[in-house]
Structure 1
């Protein structure tokens, strides 16, 4: 990625835009936390905690390929502090939904990245 391909806004401004917009695309009772990736200036770390009894925590790495496109990778799924097998059908559906929601949020923050 060249300098021209990187999001134009500061990382802190981008982080604030994600923090503002991500909750609006998630299920109402889900919780999300967005952090800057300390090892990759093009990436954000996103943790989504599901509502309900399962208490799953999904950790994603969201990497900007350019100012409009992101690559979303699942890092880990935990329940009650323990890693769980993400091959379970229910968990796969949740992962798919959350990846879609993350892409939706990336579209919402384009005014910040494409300024």
Structure 2
């Protein structure tokens, strides 16, 4: 059964900005915005603390009101594109993907009432 999202993007962004910091490690930071091309997607930019200035960009798309698909869009190190296949980047990508899923789960009372 397809459960469509009933939430507008701005409400979703506010909820994520409130909830996501509680799931993050000290020193990491993020910025978040709606994807103009898709009302059900959020673009999340993470800055990793102390990891040689890595930053990772993800697209989090609500497949339905309960499930999100998370895609790593870009990885930079010190402001330059870098290889996303290195162990350090893969570990960061897994950590942030997990945090995105945890946040989506924590917001289910909002997205799947």
Task: Report the TM-score when normalising by structure 2.
Answer: 0.93
Partner of residue 28 from structure 2, selected from 15, 27, 30: 30
Q: Matched residues in 1 for 2:106 and 2:6: separation? A: 15
Give the number of the structure whose residues are more often strand, by fraction. Answer: 2
Corresponding residue for residue 88 of structure 1: 86
> Number of paired residues?
113
Q: Which has the higher contact order (CA 8 A, sep 6+)?
A: 1
What's the CA shift for 1:107? 0.5
Please tell me the root mean square deviation across aligned C-alpha atoms, in Å.
Answer: 1.5
Q: Which runs of 4+ in 1 moved over 2 A?
A: none
Contact 1:6 1:42 in 2 (8 A): no
Segments of structure 2 that go 5 or more residues without pairing to the other structure are none
Segments of structure 1 that go 5 or more residues without pairing to the other structure are none
